[in-house]
Structure 1
Amino acid sequence: MSKILVFGHKNPDTDAIASAISFSYLQNALGKETEAVALGEVSEETAYALEYFGMEAPRVIETAANETNTVYLVDHNEAQQSVSDIHDVEIASVVDHHRIANIDTANPLYYRAEPVGCTATIVLKIFKENNIAIPKNIAGIMLSAIVSDTLLFKSPTSTQEDESAARELADIAEVELEVYGLDMLKAGTNMGDKTAEELIDMDAKSFPMGDKNVRIAQINVVDVEDVFSKQAQLEKAIQQTNLANHYDLFVLVVTNILDSDSVILAIGNPIAAVEEAFNVKLDSNKAVLKGVVSRKKQVVPQLTEALTK
């Protein structure tokens, strides 16, 4: 039997990497033969967390069917966000905290989805349900995922379960939660040396919304001008990627992790849907979204509603 591959979504964030690592460890402890892999290089934030806890990034794969017949998905379930040949392998397990869309399987599977802020919060529950002890480094990377996805509990996606899980994992990892969390978040906000092409692809996901193909990217910063000083280059890069990948609409969400607000840059059609979704008027393709920090809860549902009327 080939080894089961465990992975999160393309353009992996800290949760996609951490949940793959921790869920793979758990499954191996339960007698499975699995390997955590990634569908892209890790971000600076994730690299900081991995180095802090003495771990290496999972290897990156382009396809899965050449290695295995079976995969476990974490932190995603939508086909366009997964490995390119996802339809050529059996999905035997999904652990996720996002909306459910366009997934189908030939056989029954283990499916665990909960409305919490982070997949790692769910993985912790599965560890406890199976009485599997969590090593210090695994706890640390799981903690990092929760801090990242909840913006240290400032995101509206954050729940009491996430905060309780983070504090439990911080104890195991032997770190001071607030100090480590802020340091990790800041490690992922250095955008000065990034090209426009890199910025729009760092944490980008595609979503079918009605008859439109929408791409939404999000960047966390401490100063939005670090990004928008390159607006002309960003717009050119977005126009090119829209054309190359047949995206109807591209929305870049630049989130200030200290102020808990975002500025969006929207390129494509229908722009009117963006203005309707967020009740704003775009000025030079930009608008401020006060209190918006979550793509999952404050951007995707609103755009979906506006585009499917």
Structure 2
Amino acid sequence: MVTYIFGHKSPDTDTITSSIVMANLERELGNEDAKAYRLGNINKETEYILNYLDIEAPELIESVEDDAEVILVDHNSPSESAENIENAKITKVVDHHKIAFNTAHPLFARLEPVGSTQTILYKLYKENDVEITKEIASLMLSAIISDTLLLKSPTTTEDDKKALKELAEIAELDYETYGLDMLKAGTDLSDFSIEEILALDAKQIDFKDVKSIVNQVNTASIEDVLEMKDELEKGIEEIIEREGLDLFMLLITDIVNSNSQVLVLGNAADLVEKAYGVKLEDNTALLEGVVSRKKQVVPIMTENA
């Protein structure tokens, strides 16, 4: 019986690489049926990594069968998971997000407030005395770089820093040079439609009674993304109407200067002004120093909702 291992929908680098790395760990520990999957298309950053390492992307699925054995990585919220997840048997969860799940039976859960799921997996490899190969180390460090924006994000912990430096030695990589190239590869939006951009890293995150979607795209030039502002706004309005949202936030994050320009629409847009003490002008404002959705958006917006 296959053990399905996957991360969240609209998969990012941490989700894809964690699925691969967790599947490898399971097989090393004796679960020969463990297999990595994905719940969406890979982004350009992840594509860059997989091409660099000559690794195939995990198989795409949308749902799981009743009673399927499942391991969740980089998420634990049913709304971000596979269809029919409520009828699957979740055996393990490895994640760095807040707890959002209930199960009918005991399970292994490893959740830590670190910058990347791969930092936790790094610990699990060490604790179980499983070799971290050059390939696995490269996958791990890529995700840590991605989720912490090269250790610049406020989500970065000392555990992330330690893991990244040790993994770089194993992978024989200059992580700063490799990491910047990797992050820049992920900022190229030229091949994406407006609909694809608005779905790249979109997560439904409700702030109390405010039904919201928060999407984040990384860029080396906020101005380049804002050239598409009219088209982005039209696409956002369609999503708001279709999903019945109160709020849609698009964080356009500058990976070089560590700021985000936010594009906000919806009848609860004033919540952003209240939370950050800014004035939206033509639906947008600069949020200085804001680069982390998890640490600098979710708690602040929830507190002010």
**Fold similarity call, TM over 0.5:** yes
Cα offsets for 1:72-106 (capped at 9, x unmatched): 111111111111211110111111111112x1101
Matched AA of 2:34? T
Tell me, what secondary structure is at the counterpart of 2:211? strand
Tell me, what secondary structure is at the counterpart of 1:83? coil
Structure 1 residue 248 and structure 2 residue 246: aligned? yes
Q: CA deviation at 1:20?
A: 0.8
Partner residue of 2:231 out of 208, 230, 233: 233
Give percent identity, aligned residues only: 48
Could you tell me how far apart the structure 2 residues matched to 1:176 and 1:258 are?
18
Q: CA deviation at 1:212?
A: 2.3
Cα offsets for 1:161-211 (capped at 9, x unmatched): 101111111111111111111110111011233222111111111112212
Is contact 1:202-1:217 (8 Å) kept?
Answer: yes
- Aligned length, in residue pairs: 304
Is contact 1:191-1:226 (8 Å) kept?
Answer: no
Tell me, what secondary structure is at the counterpart of 2:274? helix
Could you tell me how far apart the structure 2 residues matched to 1:29 and 1:269 are?
51
Equivalent position of 1:7 in the other structure: 6
Is contact 1:54-1:137 (8 Å) kept?
Answer: no
Q: CA deviation at 1:255?
A: 0.3
Equivalent position of 2:20 in the other structure: 21
Is contact 2:274-2:304 (8 Å) kept?
Answer: yes
Is contact 2:253-2:291 (8 Å) kept?
Answer: yes
Could you tell me how far apart the structure 1 residues matched to 2:246 and 2:9 are?
20
Matches within 5 A, 1:1-309: 2-32=1-31, 33-65=33-65, 69-101=68-100, 103-307=101-305
Q: CA deviation at 1:151?
A: 0.3
Cα offsets for 1:109-147 (capped at 9, x unmatched): 111111110000000000000000012111111110000
Matched AA of 1:302? I
Could you tell me how far apart the structure 1 residues matched to 2:252 and 2:265 are?
14
Is contact 2:64-2:85 (8 Å) kept?
Answer: yes
Is contact 1:96-1:114 (8 Å) kept?
Answer: yes
Is contact 2:207-2:298 (8 Å) kept?
Answer: no
Q: Which runs of 4+ in 1 moved over 6 A?
A: none
In structure 2, the gaps of 5 or more residues are none
In structure 1, the gaps of 5 or more residues are none
Is contact 2:38-2:59 (8 Å) kept?
Answer: yes
